[in-house]
Amino acid sequence: MRYATLFLFTVLILILATSCHRRTVVVPVQVDYIITGTAGGYTAVDAKTRYFKIAEDLKKDTSKLYQGHQPALSEFRWDVVLPMADYTKAVGLLSSLPEELLKRNGQVIGRPMVDASYTDLRARYRGVDYSWRFEADLDKESAGIRDFVNRLQTDLPNK
């Protein structure tokens, strides 16, 4: 009887230990700027990308609508400053980039989905330029990454 009790106690401890989930802590970093655009999709209109830059203000690129490639930084023309209300909504993105992304510089993150767009992101952190491409299906990524990419799509104007 004593062995059965010890066995049941051991099994109970193992069940409790394996059912506890480690909480993921999202550590944000403050970046100097963010450049982002969303491209792809079903129609040719959706496949063209307009980029935004968040730094000391919020600017829209007016050089051209990019289609089929991710432009070099020298291709952008930041000559339109958007209203303060738009900047106020977007400025929080500068201080919320998940630190885990710094280890994934230059990567395509997530899986593509048919007729779904992707998000292009560039940032500068401590003098180093980073870039990522986020595909539409981010289900296997951390909650921090999913939340940040969602904010890139919701906190910027749709202009």
- Contact yes or no for 145/132 (Cβ under 8 A): no
Domain-wise residue ranges, the chain: 28-154
- 98: phi then psi, degrees, rounded to nearest 5: -65, 130
CATH architecture of 28-154: 2-Layer Sandwich (3.30)
pLDDT at 75: 86
pTM for this one?
Answer: 0.77
Q: What is the pLDDT of residues 38-60, one digit of tens each?
A: 776 655 555 567 789 999 999 99
Block means of pLDDT (10 residues each) for the chain, length 159 residues? 59 53 68 87 59 95 71 87 96 96 95 83 95 93 95 86
Neighbours of 21 (CB within 10 A): 6
Residue 41 CB coordination number (10 Å): 15
Q: How many CB atoms lie within 10 A of CB 32?
A: 14
For position 22, what pLDDT does the model report? 44
Contact 145, 121 (CB under 8 A): no
Amino acid letter for position 33: Y
In this predicted structure, what is the pLDDT of residue 1?
62
